[in-house]
Amino acid sequence: MKRGTERADVVIVGAGFTGLSAALELKKAGIDFLLLEARDRVGGRVESRRNGLGERIDSGGQFLCEDMPELMSLVEARGKTFVETFVDGDFITHPSMPVEQAERTYVTAMAIRGRMNGIEPDDPSIAGLTVAAWLDRQKDPADAKAAFRSMIEGLWCLALEKMPLWHLIDNDRRITNEVPELQYSLRETMQSLADDLAGDLGDHVRLNEPVMRVERARQGMRIVSGSGVIGAREVLIALPPATAAKLDFQPALPAALKNALDVWESGAVIKILVRYARPFWRERSLSGMVMWRDLPGLFACDASKDDDHAALVVFIGGPLALLCRKLGDAALRDEVTAKLADALGPDAADILDFSQRDWTDDRWSGGAYSDLIVDVTAREAERTIVAGAPPVHFASSELSPSFPGYVEGAIVAGRIASRKIIANVQSAIATSASGS
């Protein structure tokens, strides 16, 4: 049923953690707002589903660590239960290699990453270089370079051939955790935290409300959805850049801003939770963590909630995800099961439940954990998007000064954008009240 034209001081498009965090700040400041979400839930790339056993599981963003202060603070304030990721025991690299060689390979791969991050992003010697081109120039052993590729494509879910070196360095430098990012998950799921935040916003949140068009009107903005039109002073597009680029803006955005949005590509990832009757890998003094050197982007680790909830989470990222999604569900299950059995032994084939979520080309968020710039010349893209075209503003985890691509980054980005919008709205209200 269509509504007539409504009004709000601010409309936020997208109820992921960026939009939710911005909305909470607006609420604290007493600013009238509406938060529109195309999906039937909040959370964006954070999501939970029921598996075949009826258990609520994280099918999207899941992990956090104590070096993510904003997210940790929210989790603690909402009384969530931390589940510490099991890491005791040996880490498996596959195909297998002697322990000493595996340790050397890991140390060397991390040294490659450290060497990369020692380069200044604006160093003219790396202009035009992709990560793949730079890696080819390194004189490290092939095993270490393969491990580096698997690590980076697993983290960012795009081929190294697409990643500008300066962009990866800049992103990596903003990810400042000293403890492993897989340190914790939440017993109640990360989605439950998003639901709690939305609960505080009440009927200011509207689900199943995809925005069709954002119009700059004579007085303010008009946001057109399938349900009607909302007039607003300011608009925050709280979407990943590649998704924001698909919105219809009337009139068109300034050319520099449109071009800045167009240089991003979403990663590809398939996330799988495999449930077992017992954590059999621990019986063999294994951590459950496996990295496949011959299949860059394939990674597994322990995701058990307790001894009665034994589970491994498997991530398939980047080019490998694009190949695997063509297999079909049954063939993919067979393939992943065989890979787990090769790495961890025959018990890995004795599965209670196999739940997979393909995030590639997701309709409302575009793909994996994060978008990346894929144009080596687009050095001003982030700054251009953050500057926006007021009263149209943009924010997303990708644009955060800390932890881009993570929930932590989304929270920070939403709060930063909200401060600018609050100042603008308060100034406009004051001007209107004074009759100026």
Instruction: Tell me if 359 sits within 8 A of 60, measured CB to CB.
Output: yes
What is the SS3 assignment for 98-126?
Answer: CHHHHHHHHHHHHHHHHHHHCCCCCCHHH
What are the tokens at 23?
């909305």
178 is in an annotated binding site: no
Q: Report the relative pairing of strands 298-302 and 371-373 from DSSP bridges.
A: unpaired
Least Cα distance to 363 among 239, 252, 271 occurs for 239
3-state secondary structure (DSSP) of residue 66:
coil
The closest alpha carbon to 379, from 150, 189, 156, 123, belongs to 123
What is the spatial distance between Cα 436 and Cα 425, in angstroms, rounded to a whole number? Answer: 15
Is position 211 annotated in a ligand binding site?
yes
Phi, psi of 257 (to 5 degrees): -70, -45
Q: Cis before residue 296, ω within 30 degrees of 0?
A: no
How far, CA to CA in Å, does 102 sit from each of 113, 301, 413? Answer: 17, 17, 38
- Contact between 267 and 160 under an 8 Å Cβ cutoff? The reply is no
Asked if residue 401 lies in contact with residue 174, where contact means CB atoms within 8 angstroms, the answer is: yes
Diameter of the chain measured on Cα atoms:
77
33 annotated as ligand-binding: no
CB 373 within 8 A of CB 168: no
Q: How far is CA 136 from the centre of its chain?
A: 28
- Residue 38 known to bind ligand: yes
Q: Is 176 annotated as a binding residue?
A: no
**What H or E segment, with its residue span, contains residue 83?**
strand 82-84
Residue 217, Cα to own-chain centre: how many angstroms?
33
Q: Is 231 exposed, middle or buried (0-12, 13-18, 19+ CB in 10 A)?
A: middle
On whether 84 is known to bind a ligand per the annotation, the reply is no
* Contacting residues for 228 by C-beta, under 8 A, at least 6 apart: 2, 3, 4, 5, 6
CB 391 within 8 A of CB 233: yes
Which residues, listed in sequence order, are joined to residue 164 by a DSSP beta bridge?
130
Cα 302 to Cα 428: distance, rounded to the nearest angstrom: 52
Tokens of 158: 């795009």
Whether residue 164 contacts residue 156, with contact meaning beta carbons closer than 8 Å, is answered with no
- Residues belonging to the binding site for substrate are 315
- Residues belonging to the binding site are 18, 37-38, 211, 315, 398
- Residues belonging to the binding site for FAD are 18, 37-38, 211, 398
